[in-house]
Structure 1
Amino acid sequence: MEAIFQIGLGMLVILALLAMKTRFIGFRSQSPEDFAERGPAFDLRNHLNGPILCEGVIYGPTGRVSSRFVADMVGEWDGNTGRLKERFHYDSGEVVDRCWTLRCGNDGRIIATAPDVVGEGKGVASGPAVQMVYRIKLDEKAGGHVLSVTDWMYLMENGTIMNRSQFRKFGLPVAELVATMRRVEP
């Protein structure tokens, strides 16, 4: 009976450590408030406006590169509502289009929709950072899975945007994206 108690106690300690790691260490532990006073304000209406060149890498669940891409994007805004049209060119030769509709509140809150996003994505801009949280449905060729996404964009001093996204299924990381976005002259 003592052995069962020790195993149960050990499992509780492991679960508590994992919960602490998620809350206090790593990618998912940061919050928009961490960036409130840390640099120039990231305003989607300004920084995601006009033509943008995006270059990135997608890592699989083992941390190895699974795909590379270059994307051409165009942001267009009418007041607080914008559309971000994206055309991804993957190293496999595949071309994928997506169009986001973004609504920005004056309080930094963001609502985002796209055809492959389940429901609405919710985000917040704070200082030089934007956090978006949403669920995305993969194309049937990629299994048709619905993944939970945490997306962080960081405005750099030169205007470049660094993007890091984690994709999870059942709470487990299955992919990560790292990309840069730079406005280009029309």
Structure 2
Amino acid sequence: MKTLLILLLIFTALIATQRLFFSFSSQKIADYADTAPKMDIRRHLSGPLVSEGVIYGPNGRVVTRFVADMTGTWDEDGGTLQESFRYADGGGQERLWRISFSGDGSFTGEADDIVGVARGEQAGAVAHLRYSIRLPESSGGHVLDASDWLYLMENGTIMNRSEMRKFGVKVAELVATIRPAP
């Protein structure tokens, strides 16, 4: 029994180490400080935008696809990002982000389905945002911890990769593009 407990502890430590050093969460915003073009969400998420993406479930299979119409409105101190999602199953979802900026490249965000305050930062061609989101009741009403990484491409398109976790276990991943609306 003692040997089994020791093996379980070693296995748990190996998984934690792998997650820390070889996974999505091992990225740091400072890793991207010298990348270009320089991301400024007030500029690159401004005006009418369209986002297209997929959401993967815990088994790695696509659980839904979406298209979102977005509109960013900004001033020096902050602004709003309105998101209107249309899912492949015909469902929809609305979100209005209220975002405030600090002078050091960091920002905070709030929305009705966000628990507490989202915290973000920008460096080089990248923005990173961490928050907790409450799913709609039709999706179980669970609160998930989310980590969004937005990568600005040379042509102005933004690649968004997000990971959602519950109790530290990955339950979903989102991959999407965001670009100016035609």
Same fold (TM over 0.5): yes
Task: Check if 1:158 corresponds to 2:162.
Answer: no
1:34 aligns with 2:31: yes
Cα deviation, 1:38-64, whole Å, max 9, x if unaligned, reads 222110110011011100001111111
1:137 aligned to 2:141? no
Larger Rg belongs to: 1
2:79 aligned with 1:72, yes or no?
Answer: no
Equivalent residue number for residue 124 of structure 2: 127
Matched, 1:148 2:140: no
Deviation at 1:21, TM superposition (A): 0.9
RMSD: 1.1
Amino acid at match of 1:182: R
Which ranges in structure 2 are unaligned for 5 or more consecutive residues? none
Match of 2:20 in 1: 23
Separation in 1 of the partners of 2:158 and 2:126? 9
How much has 1:96 moved relative to structure 2? 1.2
1:8-44 per-residue CA deviation (whole Å, 9 max, x = no partner) reads: 3212221221121121101111110111112221101
Secondary structure of 1:39 counterpart: coil
- Post-superposition Cα deviations, 1:115-154, rounded to whole Å, max 9, x if no partner, equal 0000100011111111111000011111111111011110
Aligned length: 182
**Percent identity over paired residues:** 48
Q: Counterparts of 1:1-186 in structure 2 under 5 Å?
A: 4-184=1-181
Q: Is the 8 A contact 1:56 1:68 kept in 2?
A: yes
Aligned partner letter, 2:38:
A
Q: Which amino acid aligns with 2:119?
A: K
1:60 maps to a residue whose letter is: G
Q: Does the 8 A contact of 1:55 with 1:179 survive in 2?
A: yes
**TM-score, normalization: structure 1?**
0.94
Show structure 1 runs of 4+ deviating over 6 A: none
Report the TM-score when normalising by structure 2: 0.96
- Give the unaligned 5+ runs of structure 1: none
1:98 deviation in Å?
Answer: 0.7
Distance between the aligned counterparts of 1:80 and 1:179, measured in 2?
A: 27
